[in-house]
Amino acid sequence: MGVIEEVFSIDLPVGEQFRIQRCRYIPKKGETLKRISIVSGIHGDELEGQYVCFLLGEWLRANPDKIKATIDIYPAINSLGLDSITRSVPFYEVDLNRVFPGSKNDFLPAQIADGVVSAMKGSEIAIDIHSSNIFLREIPQVRIAKSQEKTLVPLANKLNIDFVWVHDAVTVLESTFAHAMNTLGTKTLVVEMGVGMRLGKTYGHQLLDGLLNLMACEGFLSIEPLDVRYPIQSHVGEVAYLNASCPGLFVPSIEHCQMIEKGSVVGQIVDPLSGQVLDEVIAPIGGILFTLRAYPIVYEGSLVGRIFGENE
């Protein structure tokens, strides 16, 4: 059985503490230095990771004799946000994933970030589970900065996800949890899957299998590796962004996660007032629609989908 520990606590003004808790599982023969951290809820409106944490905890409780190293589960980093449907840190309205590595000498969000880093520093691996946001639905994918490609892609391939997306390094992303942890030597993968404020059971189970497989391969669990899917690699093709050309109500014509052909209709943007169809969103390339808008109100520029197409 795991031990629940409080790793960060700070008094709030009126009779409450902001806290971060983890559940730690250790091998029967005692604690080891080898450690993995499973993290969710850096964004308070992303809940898919909470379900994965539950599933993993349930599995570990049922299989304590398979645990070979320390496994820490942190389901709720932005605990205040999770319990109030707030993406950012309430009161400050700051995106927690833009203040890492944080500091003890800065405002509350930075102190939380610092607390998170101190708690997880020394982990060999960290898996940071996000669910896109409330606007977009994503297939299970891992996003990796180009500079980390060599170390992280082999690890991501074990995670039973559908897509590994290696992107160019952008300076602003240096303030993310993943960047801070990778800099400290913890191999950190960022998983994006599902949609904000909702739960997808299938994705949860898919990622559980991936986590078990990764932990088997990396020596955290004494089980046979699982038979997992091999993700599509972004370097073999290109990502096309579909942005709304005008404001209105976006009505998808197809389901998420479909193979579509170049020129086919992804959805329509309609005007509820005049009853007109304002625009059709057309696939600029053929491939897999791995992102699809879930929240229908769009402005000009709102992302409505992303397609990954393999080069011929």
Binding site for another protein (CB under 8 A): 10-15, 18, 87-88, 91-94, 98, 104-108, 111, 133, 135, 171-175, 241, 243, 246-249, 273, 297-303
For another protein, the closer CB: 57 or 102: 102
Q: Output 12 or 236, the one with its CB closest to another protein.
A: 12
Query: How near is the Cβ of 46 to Zn ion at its closest, in Å?
Result: 5
DSSP structure class, residue 89: B
What is the Cα–Cα distance from 109 to 115, expressed in whole angstroms? 10
Residue 92 contact, options Zn ion, another protein, none, Cβ 5-8 Å cut-off depending on partner type: another protein
Q: Which of 43, 68, 137, 143 binds Zn ion (CB under 5 A)?
A: 43
Residues 32, 77: contact at Cβ < 8 Å? no
Q: Give which of Zn ion, another protein, none residue 130 binds (C-beta under 5 to 8 Å, depending on kind).
A: Zn ion
Please identify, among the stretches 27-35, 41-49, 254-262, 267-275, the one whose residues bind Zn ion according to the rule CB under 5 A: 41-49
Enumerate residues 108-127 that contact Zn ion by CB under 5 A.
Answer: none
* CA angle (207 as vertex; 310, 227 as ends), nearest 5: 75
Q: How far is the CB of 302 from another protein (least distance, A)?
A: 6
> Both tokens of residue 282?
């057309």
Distances 242 to 133, 257, 272, 296 between C-alpha atoms, Å:
17, 15, 22, 14
- Taking the complex as a whole, the smallest distance from the CB of residue 84 to another protein amounts, in Å, to 14
**142-174: burial string, b at 16+ Cβ within 10 Å, e else:** bbbbeebeeebbebbbbbbbbbbbbeeeeeebe
Q: How far is the CB of 204 from another protein (least distance, A)?
A: 25
Q: Site for Zn ion (CB under 5 A): which residue of 22, 35, 68, 130?
A: 130
What are φ and ψ of residue 49, in 5° steps? -65, -30
Q: Which stretch binds Zn ion (CB under 5 A): 108-116, 129-137, 154-162, 280-288?
A: 129-137
User: Least distance from C-beta 130 to another protein, angstroms?
Assistant: 16
* Phi-psi group of 153: left, alpha or beta (phi > 0 → left; psi -120 to 50 → alpha; rest → beta): alpha
User: Looking at beta carbons only, is 13 or 275 nearer to another protein?
Assistant: 13
Q: How far is the CB of 289 from another protein (least distance, A)?
A: 18
43 binds, among Zn ion, another protein, none (CB under 5 to 8 A by kind): Zn ion
- Nearest residue (CB) to another protein, 15 versus 30: 15
Nearer to another protein, 21 or 86 (CB): 86
Residue pair 124/100 in contact (Cβ under 8 Å)? The answer is no
Compute CA distances 114 → 12, 97, 221, whole Å. Answer: 17, 12, 29
Ramachandran angles phi, psi of 244, nearest 5°: -65, 135
Alpha-carbon distances, residue 16 vs 13, 44, 227 (angstroms): 7, 18, 46
Strand partners, 100: none
In whole angstroms, what is the distance from residue 218 CA to residue 210 CA? Answer: 12
Nearer residue to Zn ion within complex by CB, 130 or 187? 130
Window contacting Zn ion (CB under 5 A); options: 37-45, 151-159, 169-177, 228-236 = 37-45
Q: Whose CB is nearest to Zn ion?
A: 130
Contacts with Zn ion by CB under 5 A lie at: 43, 46, 130
